[in-house]
Structure 1
Amino acid sequence: MAFDGPAEDQVAIRALIDGYTDAVFRRDPHDWGATWTEDALWNLMGTQVRGREAIVGLWTQAMAGFPFVAFFAQVGSISVDGDRATGRVYTHEYLELADGSVSRPIGQYLDVYTRTADGWRFAERHFSVLKETHRP
């Protein structure tokens, strides 16, 4: 089943994903970083970064290369098991590059969420691009 576990946990995880998405639009490293656990793992198409501080550093560096970013997320699945959950999230991005060209990747995150004292957080995010188009 695509959605499994207590409804209140599923709603809280969706709020986590929405907060992440909003922080990308606002380019807010503090709020974006707060969605991760301290020892989280971010796997971007095979490049693995461990730890919130390193993850935020990579994200901040990457975002500096885009004059404009739009990021949309669609939840495909959430399965909650106690204080751990897994999920699948599809993404559509609009990335304006410094040279004025545009990239529009459609991607997928395979996630692991952990319940913390501050609520649900990303423990792992594994991203892959499903399709990407470019426009000069």
Structure 2
Amino acid sequence: MAFDGPAEDQIAIRALIDSYSDAVFRRDAQAWGATWAEDAVWNLASTEVRGRDAIVGLWTQAMAGFPFVAFFAQIGQLAITGDHATGRVYTHEYLELADGSVSRPIGQYLDVYTRTGDGWRFAERHFSILKETQAK
């Protein structure tokens, strides 16, 4: 089964993923950062960042290079055991670059979630691009 664990936790983790996506659209670093655990790890292909503050710093810097970003996420797998969970999330992004060109990466996150005092948060996100198209 692709989805395993208590329904209320599945709903909460789906809300976490949706909150992350919404914060990207709105370029809201505070809301986006709130989706991460304090000691989280973000791995973007070959770049690994540790700690919420460093993760938000990298994201803020990266977002500054895009006049417009759209981010869509679809959860493909979720397994919850107590206060920990793993999941697979597929992404589709529309990235407008400063020179007017557009990149449309389709990616995959392999996630680890943790239940904190503030609810479910990303403990780890490991991203890889599955396919990318570019247009001028």
Please classify the TM superposition score into its range, dividing by the shorter chain length: over 0.9
TM-score by length of 2: 0.99
Q: Which residue of 1 aligns with 2:47?
A: 47
Mapped partners of 2:134, 2:126: distance in 1: 23
Q: Displacement of 1:42 after TM fit?
A: 0.0
- Equivalent position of 1:134 in the other structure: 134
Computed over aligned residues only, the root mean square deviation of the Cα atoms, in angstroms, reads 0.3
- Residue 46 of structure 1 deviates from its aligned partner by 1.7
Give matches, 1:22-61, under 5 Å. Answer: 22-61=22-61
Please, which runs of 5 or more residues in structure 2 have no aligned partner? Answer: none
Residues 95-132 of structure 1 deviation map (CA, whole Å, 9 limit, x = unaligned): 00000000000000000000000000000000000000
Which residue does the alignment assign to 1:82?
A: 82
Aligned-pair identity (%) = 82
Amino acid at match of 2:71: F
Residue equivalent to 2:71: 71
Q: Deviations over 1:50-88 (max 9, x none)?
A: 000000000000000000000000000110000000000
TM-score scaled by length of structure 1: 0.99
The AA in structure 1 aligned to 2:41 is L
Count of aligned positions:
136
Q: Partners of 1:80 and 1:41 in 2: how far apart?
A: 19
Letter in 1 for 2:54: A
For the residues of structure 2 that align with 1:2 and 1:115, how far apart are their CA atoms? 20
